[in-house]
């Protein structure tokens, strides 16, 4: 599916798909109805394509792409121009396709935030060159969130956290800053323990990078690790 | 290729445009014979002879058919769906050209039925209306069909070449009607007899022995514009 779908405005959803079913020599007449049901357009009736919203048009384009039950589906900028509800619907259809039909979906998109919600593997391309190919798990690790504690003594802070909470994943960033990669959601007990042990805590905050920042760092030659 | 042609027929018959075109032309035929009744030309033989004079005019309608088959695909960016599926472009172009020709044949059948039907309804039978007169007409019509096919191929080429429908039609009519003046300008009048428009003058002549040239010119023109159209289509950006 290439960007916005090109379909005949004077035909209905069914007629558009039927045209391509005939053209592709697909003898299974039920594939049209199944494709429409899968994307939630079975109730469009006699409504012509020109009367569809952008979200409906994108879904019909997707129905056309999946009509022949492909093993691999390539989508080029499929969610450009969609509103949040349209993006949510489109995302759920893609996930459903992968789950139920075991279809491998290759999505080309600049909307990195959306990709982060569905992709299992990422390929970063810059100026036509593949810069990195990485799994979602590894990428998450590289973009991980951590608790940043700024105090008067990073070494003392690190020692107290290790002794009192058995934290194993602690980085001393500099003489005043410690990064803790465990129990990020619950910093209060750690802060209390530090204060009770005489550590002057000046800042405590969550930190990390999102997919967009990761990509920017990557193409600018830096990588967060 | 049959699948491609079948699909284009499905698309064409599921819209009103083609039926309006057919109905409009059929109504025009009825009107012509109705207008001739009662006058000096109000007999069947005159109607058939008049039909021979009209053989050139379907050329005007042909771009409307290529517009249905070709232009709309460019206009609505639907060709990328077919190309991305892996369909061979030359095959696609050939199938659409055949579809255009077949649609014109359907159009012609309906128009002829309307014309001769209204002729039998409105006009009186005369002694000169014989089977040989009809044979003569259909022979000229048959040769004209070869010229129509060449015109369709030419129209398809311009449609592929120019994204804008208006520009394609302008060049189509320009090449068909104005090329003779262009040749005069270039002092190439000797090639005038090889133009498509000139073939209708040959077809209209009373003698039926000189139909080889129209057929040959039509065949060569069809081949040239088919090759040019297929090459242009292969290189065209379809997105």
Inter-chain residue contact A7 with B82, CB threshold 8 Å: no
Minimum distance, in Å, between the CA of residue B80 and any CA atom of chain A: 8
Residues of B in contact with A78 (CB under 8 A): none
> What's the pLDDT score for residue A2?
65
Report in angstroms the alpha-carbon separations of B16 from A20, A224, B180. Answer: 20, 60, 37
Inter-chain residue contact B76 with A6, CB threshold 8 Å: yes
User: pLDDT tens digit string along A97-121?
Assistant: 888 888 899 998 877 777 778 888 9
Inter-chain residue contact A9 with B76, CB threshold 8 Å: yes
What are the φ and ψ backbone dihedral angles of A44, each rounded to 5 degrees? Answer: -75, -20
- Fold exhibited by the domain A13-119: Rossmann fold (3.40.50)
B15 interface with A at CB cutoff 8 Å: yes
Q: Say if CB B109 and CB B22 are below 8 A apart.
A: no
| Three-class SS of A80-110 | CCCCHHHHHHHHHHHHHHHHHCCCEEEEECC
Least confident of A10-14, A86-90, A110-114, B160-164: A110-114
Q: Which of B17, B78, B84 sits opposite A7 (nearest CB)?
A: B78
User: pLDDT tens digit string along B42-98?
Assistant: 888 888 888 988 999 999 999 999 988 988 888 899 998 898 888 999 999 999 999
> What's the pLDDT score for residue A224?
44
3-state secondary structure of A46: coil
Inter-chain residue contact B15 with A20, CB threshold 8 Å: no
| Three-class SS of chain B | CHHHHHHHHHHHHCCHHHHHHHHHHHHHHHHHHHHHCCCCCCEHHHHHHHHHHHHHCHHHHHHHHHHHHHHHHHHCCCHHHHHHCCCCHHHHHHHHHHHHHHHHHHHHHHHHHHHHHHHHHHCECCCCCCHHHHHHHHHHHHHHHHHHHHHHHHHHHHHHHCCCHHHHHHHHHHHHHHHHHHHHHCCCHHHHHHCHHHHHHHHHCCCCCCCHHHHHHHHHHHHHHHHHHHHHHHHCCCC
> What's the pLDDT score for residue B153?
96
Mutate: best of B76, B83, B84, B95, partner A, most A CBs <10 A: B76
B92 interface with A at CB cutoff 8 Å: no
Element (H, E) at A203: strand A201-207
pLDDT band for position B233 (50/70/90)? Answer: very high
Q: What is the mean pLDDT of chain A?
A: 85
What are the φ and ψ backbone dihedral angles of A26, each rounded to 5 degrees? Answer: -80, 115
Q: In this prediction, what percent of chain A has a pLDDT beyond 70? A: 94
Is the per-residue pLDDT at A8 higher than 90?
A: yes
Q: In this prediction, what percent of chain A has a pLDDT beyond 90? A: 28
For chain A, the structural domain boundaries read: 13-119, 144-207
> What's the pLDDT score for residue A173?
82
Report in angstroms the alpha-carbon separations of B188 from A88, B99, B192. Answer: 67, 35, 8
What mean pLDDT comes out for the span B138-150? 92
B163 interface with A at CB cutoff 8 Å: no
How many CB atoms are located within 10 Å of the residue A92 CB?
A: 12
What is the rounded distance in angstroms from the CA atom of residue A6 to the CA atom of residue B77? 5
* Strand A201-207 with A121-126, pairing: unpaired
Element (H, E) at A142: helix A136-142
User: pLDDT tens digit string along A161-205?
Assistant: 888 887 778 888 888 998 887 755 678 888 898 999 999 999 998
pLDDT band for position B127 (50/70/90)? Answer: confident
> What's the pLDDT score for residue A184?
59
Mutate: best of A1, A6, A14, partner B, most B CBs <10 A: A6
3-state secondary structure of A150: strand
What is the rounded distance in angstroms from the CA atom of residue A176 to the CA atom of residue A193? 17
Nearest to A22 by CA among B92, B6, B11, B90: B6
> What's the pLDDT score for residue B208?
57
Minimum distance, in Å, between the CA of residue B91 and any CA atom of chain A: 12
pTM of the model: 0.79
Minimum distance, in Å, between the CA of residue A216 and any CA atom of chain B: 29
Minimum distance, in Å, between the CA of residue B169 and any CA atom of chain A: 22
Minimum distance, in Å, between the CA of residue A61 and any CA atom of chain B: 9
Nearest to B125 by CA among B204, B29, B37: B37
Residues of B in contact with A8 (CB under 8 A): 11, 72, 76, 78
> What's the pLDDT score for residue A188?
86
Is the per-residue pLDDT at A223 higher than 50?
A: no
- For chains A and B, CB pairs below 8 A equal 48
Residues of A in contact with B15 (CB under 8 A): 10-11
Report in angstroms the alpha-carbon separations of A19 from A22, A196, B104. Answer: 5, 75, 21
pLDDT band for position A80 (50/70/90)? Answer: confident
Statement: A144-207 belongs to CATH 3.30.70: yes
For chain B, the structural domain boundaries read: 2-235
> What's the pLDDT score for residue B211?
80
């Amino acid at each position: 599916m290439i960007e916005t779908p090109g379909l005949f405005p004077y035909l209905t959803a069914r007629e558009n798909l039927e045209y391509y079913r005939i053209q592709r020599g697909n003898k299974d007449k039920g594939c049209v109805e199944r494709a429409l049901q899968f994307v939630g357009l079975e109730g469009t009736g006699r409504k012509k394509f020109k009367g569809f919203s952008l979200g409906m048009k994108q879904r019909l384009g997707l129905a056309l792409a999946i009509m022949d039950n492909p093993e691999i589906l390539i989508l080029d900028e499929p969610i450009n121009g969609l509103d949040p509800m349209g993006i949510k619907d489109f995302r759920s259809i893609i996930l459903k396709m992968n789950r139920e039909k075991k279809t491998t979906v290759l999505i080309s998109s600049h909307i990195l935030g959306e990709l982060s919600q569905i992709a299992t593997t990422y390929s970063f391309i810059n100026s036509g060159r593949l810069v990195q190919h990485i799994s979602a798990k590894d990428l998450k690790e590289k973009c991980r969130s951590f608790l940043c504690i700024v105090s008067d003594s990073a070494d003392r802070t690190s020692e107290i956290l290790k002794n009192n909470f058995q934290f194993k994943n602690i980085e001393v960033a500099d003489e005043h800053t410690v990064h803790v990669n465990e129990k990020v959601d619950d910093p209060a007990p750690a802060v209390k323990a530090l204060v009770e042990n005489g550590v002057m805590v000046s800042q405590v905050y969550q930190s990390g990078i999102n997919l967009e920042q990761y990509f920017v760092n990557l193409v600018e030659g830096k990588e967060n690790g | 290729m049959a699948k491609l042609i079948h699909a284009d027929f499905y698309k064409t018959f599921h819209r009103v445009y083609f039926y309006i075109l057919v109905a409009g032309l059929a109504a025009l035929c009825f009107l012509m014979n109705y207008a001739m009744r009662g006058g000096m030309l109000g007999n069947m033989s005159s109607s058939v002879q008049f039909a021979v004079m009209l053989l050139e005019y379907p050329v005007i309608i042909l771009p409307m058919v290529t517009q249905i088959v070709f232009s709309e695909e460019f206009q609505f960016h639907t060709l990328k769906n077919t190309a991305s599926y892996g369909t061979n472009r030359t095959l696609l172009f050939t199938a659409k050209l055949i579809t255009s020709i077949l649609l014109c044949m359907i159009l012609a059948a309906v128009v002829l039925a309307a014309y001769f039907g209204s002729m039998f309804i409105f006009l009186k039978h005369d002694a000169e209306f014989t089977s040989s007169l009809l044979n003569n007409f259909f022979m000229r019509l048959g040769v004209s069909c070869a010229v129509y096919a060449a015109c369709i191929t030419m129209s398809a080429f311009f449609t592929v070449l120019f994204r804008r429908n208006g520009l394609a039609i302008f060049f189509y009519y320009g090449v068909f009607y104005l090329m003779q003046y262009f040749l005069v300008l270039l002092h190439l009048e000797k090639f005038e007899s090889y133009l498509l428009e000139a073939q209708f003058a040959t077809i209209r002549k009373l003698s039926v022995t000189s139909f080889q040239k129209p057929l040959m010119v039509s065949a060569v023109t069809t081949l040239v514009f088919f090759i040019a159209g297929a090459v242009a289509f292969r290189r065209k950006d379809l997105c």
